[in-house]
Chain A
Amino acid sequence: GAVVSQHPSWVICKSGTSVKIECRSLDFQATTMFWYRQFPKQSLMLMATSNEGSKATYEQGVEKDKFLINHASLTLSTLTVTSAHPEDSSFYICSARSGQINQPQHFGDGTRLSIL
């Protein structure tokens, strides 16, 4: 149980294009989803928290107009990197949690984004 699917797993695109990443909870309802960014050999850095039907809460320093998050249902959240540039290249990982706090977050397998 508690499977989170993330798609695509890998994307390469030209600078200036927008990229959408999907995060789905397959066997549970995710009231809260999280988006992280991870650079090589570093820890996960939280970008934003989204609750179904609400606007996402962004961490300090994360541009909300750059990283658009939509959490339209209890099983799907999307992250759109708008007008992506090489410095946006990274490993993006989503997680999902059901119900109350003090429950573990379950992670997708990440999306490797490379901007040329």
Chain B
Amino acid sequence: GESVGLHLPTLSVQEGDNSIINCAYSNSASDYFIWYKQESGKGPQFIIDIRSNMDKRQGQRVTVLLNKTVKHLSLQIAATQPGDSAVYFCAENTGYSTLTFGKGTMLLVSP
């Protein structure tokens, strides 16, 4: 079946750097995408979402970019902080109400 995947399993950055987490999706019918942050032992926390009629959306310190031509999604975190250390998942919604999660990328932020 179609699935969402990630290029980088682990990303290590220094505090203050900008981080970019990438996600490739294969279902061209997906019309809604979400990024979640999951800290150890906790449930996923909503970060930002984007609909397929947009190619960029900004939040507080985060930006999501969507490139439908190459089926690519990215999460940019500005001025990364140690508290940003977590596993980040992208998820896609094909319109049938369920989410398909990617494999996750662990972000490690060093002080």
> Residues of A with Cβ closer than 8 Å to B?
2, 4, 6, 32, 34, 42-44, 46, 49, 93, 95, 97, 101-102, 104-110, 112
Q: Does B41 contact A (CB under 8 A)?
A: yes
Whether A44 and B89, one on each chain, are in contact in the complex, defined by CB atoms closer than 8 angstroms, is yes
- The A contact surface, by secondary structure, is strand
Whether A108 and B98, one on each chain, are in contact in the complex, defined by CB atoms closer than 8 angstroms, is no
Given that A101-B93, A101-B95 are contacting pairs, would A43 and B43 also be in contact in the complex, using a CB cutoff of 8 Å? Answer: no
What residues on A are CB-neighbors of B97 within 8 Å?
32, 49, 97, 101
> Residues of B with Cβ closer than 8 Å to A?
31-32, 34, 36, 41-46, 49, 51, 89, 93, 95-104
B109 to chain A, nearest CB (A): 19
Whether B102 and A109, one on each chain, are in contact in the complex, defined by CB atoms closer than 8 angstroms, is no
Q: Give Cα distance in the complex from A49 to B98, angstroms.
A: 8
15 new A-B contacts at CB < 8 Å, known A95-B44, A110-B41:
A4-B43, A43-B102, A43-B104, A46-B98, A46-B99, A46-B100, A49-B97, A93-B43, A101-B32, A101-B96, A101-B97, A102-B51, A107-B46, A109-B42, A110-B43
Q: Which of A4, A106, A108, A112 contacts B41 (CB 8 A)?
A: A112
Q: Give Cα distance in the complex from A112 to B42, angstroms.
A: 10
Whether A107 and B43, one on each chain, are in contact in the complex, defined by CB atoms closer than 8 angstroms, is yes
With both beta carbons as reference points, the residue of chain B lying nearest to A44 in the complex is identified as: B101
What residues on B are CB-neighbors of A107 within 8 Å?
36, 43-46
